[in-house]
A and B are shown apart, each in its own frame.
Chain A
Amino acid sequence: MSKQPLRKSQVLLLSLLLPLTLTLAWSFSATTAAKDPPPPTGAVAQDGQYVGSEACKECHEDQFKEFSHTSHARLTTISSWNGKVTGCESCHGPGKAHIEEADPKKIISFKHKSAKESSETCLTCHAGKEEHNNFRRGEHWRNNVGCTDCHSSHSSQGGRNLATSNTFISPANAEKPDFSTVSLLKVSEPQLCLGCHSETKAQFTKPFHHKVLEGAMRCTDCHNAHGGFELKQARLATGADSACMKCHTDKQGPFVYEHAPVKTEGCASCHTPHGSSNPRLLRTSSVAQLCLECHSQDHGVGALEPAGPAHNLAAQYRDCTACHLKVHGSYSSPVFMR
Chain B
Amino acid sequence: MMNMTYAWRVVSGLALICALSSAMIQAQTPTPSPSPAATSTPAQTSNDEGDYSIVSSIELGYRGLRVDGDINKYQSDLNYKAGPRVFDTSFLLRARNGNGGAVDQLLITTTGWGADPQGSVRFSAEKSEWYRFGGHYRRFKFFRFLNNIANPNYATRPTDPVTGQHGMDTRNDVGDFDLTLLPKNEKLKINFGYSPTRINGPAYTTWHFGGDDFLLLSRLKSRSHDFRVGADWKLGPIDFSFLQGFRRFKDDTTIDNDGLNLGVNPAANNASLLTFHREEPIRGSVNYSRLSAHTLIAKKLDITGRIIYSNATTDFTWIENLSATNFNTRISGIPAAYNPPGTVLTSGQFRFVGDTKRPNTLADLGVTYLANDKLRISNTFKVETFQINGGALYNGIFNITRGTTVLAPLRPTGYSHEVTKYRKIQNTFEGDYDINDRYSIRLGYRYGSRFIQRFLSGHNLANNGAPAIAPVFEEEENHTNAFIGGVTAQVRPQWTLYFSMEKGTADNVFTRTGNYDYTNVRLRSRYIVNRDLRFTLAFLSRDNANPSEVSESGSLISLEDFGVTVKSRAFTSSVDWTASSKFGLNAGYTYNWQNSHAIIEYAFGPGVPNSSIRGHSLFFVRNNFFFIDTTSNPFPRVSFFTSYRINKDTGQGDNRISVPRVGTGLLVQSYPNNFQSAEGRLAIKINRRLDWNLGYQYYSYNESGLRRVESPFVSIRPQNYHAHLPYTSLRFYFGRKE
Contact = CB atoms under 8 A, between A and B. Distances in A.
A239 B548 CA distance: 35
Contacts of A163: 631, 639-641, 681-683, 693
B222 A249 contact: yes
Given A22-B377, A216-B118, A265-B508, A319 B296 contact: no
Interface stretch (A28-36, A43-51, A88-96, A97-105): A28-36
A205 B445 contact: no
B651 to A, nearest CB: 9
A61 interface: no
Nearest to B706: A285
A57 interface: no
B697 interface: yes
Given A174-B45, A176-B57, A264 B422 contact: yes
Given A29-B372, A318-B713, A261 B292 contact: no
B187 A304 contact: no
B128 interface: yes
B420 to A, nearest CB: 6
A130 interface: yes
A211 B172 CA distance: 13
Interface in B350-377: 350, 352, 354, 356-358, 360-362, 364, 366, 368, 370-377
Contacts of B234: 128
A296 B602 contact: yes
B660 A19 contact: no
Given A26-B372, A129-B232, A302-B514, A166 B681 contact: yes
B625 A216 contact: no
A49 B461 CA distance: 78
B498 A158 contact: no
A29 B645 CA distance: 49
A137 B366 contact: yes
Interface string B140-160: 100010101111110110000
B109 A179 contact: yes
Interface string B426-441: 0001111110010010
Given A77-B128, A175-B55, A240-B288, A252 B249 contact: yes
Nearest to B646: A205
A239 B386 CA distance: 12
Given A277-B675, A322-B165, A334-B456, A177 B90 contact: yes
B418 A257 contact: yes
Contacts of A271: none
A277 B650 CA distance: 12
Interface in B238-295: 239, 241, 243, 245, 247, 249, 251, 264-265, 280, 282, 284, 286, 288-290, 292, 294
Interface in A306-332: 310-319, 321-323, 325, 331-332
Interface in B566-595: 570, 572-574, 576, 588, 590, 592
Given A256-B392, A302-B512, A128 B208 contact: no
Nearest to A218: B136
Interface residues on A, range: 35 or more
B247 A238 contact: yes
A304 B443 contact: no
Interface string B466-485: 00000010101011110100
A162 B683 contact: yes
Given A286-B669, A323-B206, A334-B416, A169 B88 contact: yes
Contacts of B140: 211, 216
B619 A284 contact: yes
Nearest to A338: B207
A44 B65 CA distance: 63
Contacts of A161: 57, 691, 731
A299 B548 CA distance: 11
B346 interface: no
Contacts of A179: 107, 109, 122, 124
B329 interface: no
Contacts of B633: 162
Given A169-B88, A284-B669, A198 B478 contact: no
B398 interface: no
A202 B572 contact: yes
B391 A256 contact: yes
B105 interface: yes
A40 interface: no
Interface string A134-154: 101100001110000000000
B292 A247 contact: no
A9 interface: no
B152 A317 contact: yes
A285 B232 contact: no
B299 A202 contact: no
B373 A310 contact: no
B239 A293 contact: no
A261 B511 contact: yes
B599 interface: yes
Interface in B296-317: 296, 299, 302, 304, 306, 308-310, 312-314, 316
A37 interface: no
B169 interface: no
A266 B685 CA distance: 50
Interface stretch (B2-10, B12-20, B404-412, B532-540): B532-540
A30 to B, nearest CB: 7
8 contacts: A2-B547, A71-B105, A205-B645, A208-B76, A240-B310, A261-B511, A285-B713, A322-B206
Q: Which 4 A-B pairs give the minimum distances between C-beta atoms?
A: A302-B512, A239-B310, A239-B288, A315-B155
Given A304-B452, A317-B152, A323-B213, 15 more contacts: A21-B431, A31-B374, A114-B434, A134-B304, A158-B42, A175-B43, A175-B45, A177-B92, A241-B286, A254-B284, A256-B354, A285-B669, A285-B713, A296-B599, A325-B205
